Homo-oligomer: A and B are copies of this chain.
């Protein structure tokens, strides 16, 4: 096995639907500019409330990708 190096960036996705949708939103949006995303880890789950109901969900992720040579 050869040596390799990963980089991690922190992203926050948001969605009116729920937590899993907010994660998918962040990953799919980030994949437009970052090639080779491999994994994510949830670091914070928040949400905003309007008129007594959850209006949108906001999930912060660490996202890891391979550094290309």
Contact = CB atoms under 8 A, between A and B. Distances in A.
B40 A1 contact: no
B27 A3 contact: no
Contacts of A9: 7-8, 10
Interface of A: 1, 3-16, 18-20, 22-32, 37-42, 44-49, 52-57, 60, 62-64, 67
Copies in the complex: 12
Given A11-B67, A23-B47, A31-B52, 16 more contacts: A1-B16, A1-B55, A3-B22, A5-B12, A6-B12, A7-B10, A8-B12, A18-B20, A19-B20, A28-B53, A29-B67, A31-B49, A40-B49, A41-B44, A42-B45, A49-B63
